[in-house]
Amino acid sequence: MPKEIHHFFETYRDAFNRLDGHAVSAHYAIPAMIAHAGGSGIFLDVDALSANNVALCAQYAGDGFLRAEFEKRSFMPQGNDFCVADLGWKITRKDKAPQCFNTAYALRRREGAWKVFCVTAYEERRTWVKNE
């Protein structure tokens, strides 16, 4: 994974670690699509996307969120302005077992900035397992 993409995900993780839904949303292109086991959504404007991410951060806060960590699982460049990154996430909460899951991100670069245009959270795991 190129350093600039790794740094992008570090700032994305840091936004979650601050529980700042607006900062999380700043990492997304508009329109954006988010899919997970509970459903999916297509966000056509930044207000709807931010409302979703602010609510997610509030849910995390109410559930004892301490921090999020990620590790690279795979990376596929697609020309100069597109790529797909697959990450393993570990969410640590107070008094609970970590929540581990994998997420695939389709990114595009516009005007020099990488943004998520599609994210799929999948394959929840109960333990933090490193995948090479």
Cα 1 from chain centroid?
16
Domains delineated in the chain? 3-125 (3.10.450.50)
- Round to whole Å and give the CA distance between 94 and 61: 10
Angle in degrees, CA 41, 7, 71, rounded to 5: 70
Which pLDDT does position 128 carry in this prediction?
Answer: 42
The owner of tokens 């600039």 is 4
pLDDT tens, position by position, 98-132: 988 999 999 999 889 999 999 998 876 544 444 44
pLDDT tens, position by position, 37-93: 778 889 999 999 999 999 999 999 999 999 999 999 999 999 999 999 999 999 999
Q: How confident is the model at residue 9 (pLDDT cuts 50, 70, 90)?
A: very high
